[in-house]
Amino acid sequence: MTNDKTFAASVQRSPWKDFLKRVRRTPTALIGIALTLGVIAMAVFAPIIAPFDPLQMNVRERLNAPSMTHPFGTDDFGRDIFSRVVWGSRLALRLGTLSVLIAVSGGIILGLIAGYYGGWVDNLLSRLLEIVMAFPGILFAITIIAILGPSLDNLVVALGLFGWPDYARVIRGSVLSAKQREYVEAARAVGAKAGRVMARHILPNVIAPIIILSATRFGGALLTGSGLSFIGLGVPIPQPEWGAIMATGRDYMASAWWITVFPGVLIALAVLGVNLLGDGLRDVLDPRLRK
């Protein structure tokens, strides 16, 4: 009796243990997890890590080079760059997470409907996706921000609306394959409604490509958001957003390089982390790539 329980418990744990084992054997996933967790920890413990108020100005210490007091130096208003970069990680996480959630929500709904019903519904939604994807994404985001005005919330909306066609296309392809499986046919045979079939039987089995794409889209949102903030169309100055911090230092590159270099390094590390995480999860979750 005890042996049967032990065997049953080991069988139940085996998928999770197998997943962790594959993650440990995937260097890209481990590096991506480490970098991503580092950014998350910086955001969570920002009040403890940052030694100064990110908005506090001290003109007597303007443009100070990196030192023990100011590890990343100060900007043209004497604000501590290290504190601004640390607090900026919170804005970066909020921007990336919320924009991805908006894109995922819209993409899942349209992708499921197009792939499940097929026919004229699929053709109509596919043409809609092609029209939206025909426009350069950055121009689409700039148009929305120009209409709504520059702010973090408007930037989130712009990046979220810009990202949903990619999710819809990926999910549609996965649904076209999944709806032919036996468990979907069985659910239909017992009279399950279309909404229940899509939500309970198809969606959980196409979640892997959604997770992988979300990691990639998170990095893209950080890059695009920082770029728009740099040109004044994202998070407005003096908020401690990484792109906005870099914008304050573009006139001082020769004399105060630290204003742009340190936020740029953080952007690069954050984007590298989520991209490596996405590549690692693809290697782990895609059975075709397993050795």
User: Per-residue pLDDT averaged across 49-68, rounded?
Assistant: 90
pLDDT at 5 over 60: no
User: Per-residue pLDDT averaged across 8-14, rounded?
Assistant: 50
Whole-angstrom CA distances from 254 to 76, 231, 235 are: 13, 20, 25
pLDDT at 86 over 90: yes
pLDDT at 210 over 50: yes
pLDDT at 82 over 90: yes
Nearest alpha carbon to residue 99 among 236, 235, 276: 235
> Which pLDDT value is given to residue 66?
92
> Which pLDDT value is given to residue 45?
94
pLDDT band at 267 (very low <50, low <70, confident <90, very high): very high
> Which pLDDT value is given to residue 154?
87
> Which pLDDT value is given to residue 52?
92
> Which pLDDT value is given to residue 11?
46
Domain boundaries, the chain: 34-52+69-289
Q: What is the mean pLDDT of the chain?
A: 83
Coil/strand/helix, residue 80: strand
User: Per-residue pLDDT averaged across 19-33, rounded?
Assistant: 81
Pick the residue with more confidence: 22 or 223? 223
Coil/strand/helix, residue 31: helix
pLDDT band at 7 (very low <50, low <70, confident <90, very high): very low
pLDDT at 43 over 90: yes
Pick the residue with more confidence: 28 or 192? 28
Q: What is d(CA 185, CA 180) in angstroms, rounded to the nearest whole number? A: 7
Residue percentage of the chain with pLDDT more than 90: 23
92-130 pLDDT, tens digit each: 999 989 999 998 988 888 888 888 887 888 888 888 888
pLDDT at 2 over 50: no
> Which pLDDT value is given to residue 19?
66
Q: What is d(CA 19, CA 284) in angstroms, rounded to the nearest whole number? A: 7
Place of tokens 């443009």: 63
User: Per-residue pLDDT averaged across 236-245, rounded?
Assistant: 87
Structure tokens at 37: 């967790």
pLDDT at 287 over 90: no
Q: Which fold has domain 34-52+69-289?
A: MetI-like fold (1.10.3720)
- Bond preceding residue 238 cis, omega within 30 of 0: yes
pLDDT band at 286 (very low <50, low <70, confident <90, very high): low
Pick the residue with more confidence: 52 or 185? 52
User: Per-residue pLDDT averaged across 201-216, rounded?
Assistant: 80
User: Per-residue pLDDT averaged across 245-273, rounded?
Assistant: 90
In the 3-class helix/strand/coil scheme, how is 1-24 assigned residue by residue? CHHHHHHHHHHHHHHHHHHHHHHH
> Which pLDDT value is given to residue 22?
76
